[in-house]
Amino acid sequence: MRPAGNRNRDNGKWIFPGVLAVTVGAGIAAAASVTPLGIWIFLLVLGGWVITLCLHEFMHALIALYGGDVTVRYRGYLTLNPLKYTDVGMSLLVPVVLLAVGGIPLPGGAVLIDHGRLRSRAWQSLVSLGGPATNFLAGIILAYVGASLDSPLGYGLSYLALLQFVTAVLNLLPVPGLDGFGIISPYLSNRTQEAIRPFRPWAPLLLFVILISFPTASGTLWDIGDGLLRVFGGSEFNSDCGSSLFRFWTDNGLYQQLRGCTP
């Protein structure tokens, strides 16, 4: 019998490969235009979102490891196991649920980095930059592939590309709790850090309230994402179709726009 500690470390090791298998299967079904298309696009986009969320956090941990923080290895952050994150509910479940109901792709995941072990302030900034850079790179690849496929699979990948760009932009905002603030925080004075400290737990929540309360704010975020999609050769038509199919249960989703989105 294995020690309990080993069993605990193994908890959740099936999640990433399981999500990957479901996502690939949904992509194959979408490529073959298997009906109902909305279900497959929904699983493709949601599964792809979870995969990139794990890759986002993996890159934070990998850069931290090279920067001197060996504790990320012992904490299991290099395993792509989302159960290793500091708060599974807020890190994974809440962002996934919000995305599933058609909300903004909020940053998810959270890995604990021992900044005192990192070799320099530059490494601290690189650790924070690694996550959104991963989303940005994923967006570029998905945009290119999605635009080259005139099929429901291309629709789903194009919409997933848009979500990556929006997530990267959102993450790069210099708001405490987001990676953008993590990039600049090593260069802030101790006095500034102390002044900001009481507001850090509430800053992401305030940003979320602003985004859902003011359509102009969220609209600007989506506009920037659309702009990046175009810059990197993505297809807005494919992305719009992917968005409609993803929300197949809504009035303006599959039933009203499928005809125009069918190759």
pLDDT tens digits for range 39-69? 999 999 999 998 998 999 999 999 999 999 9
Please give the mean pLDDT across all residues of the chain. Answer: 86
Query: For residues 184-200, b (16+ Cβ closer than 10 Å) or e, as one string?
Result: ebbeeeeeeeeeeeeee
**What's the pLDDT tens digit per position in 110-136?**
788 999 999 999 999 999 999 999 999
Tell me the average pLDDT across 67-80. 92
Question: CA nearest 54: which of 12, 26, 25?
Answer: 12
Of the residues 26, 50, 54, 57, only one is catalytic, namely: 57
| Cα–Cα dist 30/41, whole Å | 7
Q: Is 194 a catalytic residue?
A: no
Regarding pTM above 0.75, the answer is yes
**What's the pLDDT tens digit per position in 187-199?**
999 899 888 888 8
Please tell me the predicted confidence (pLDDT) of residue 2.
45
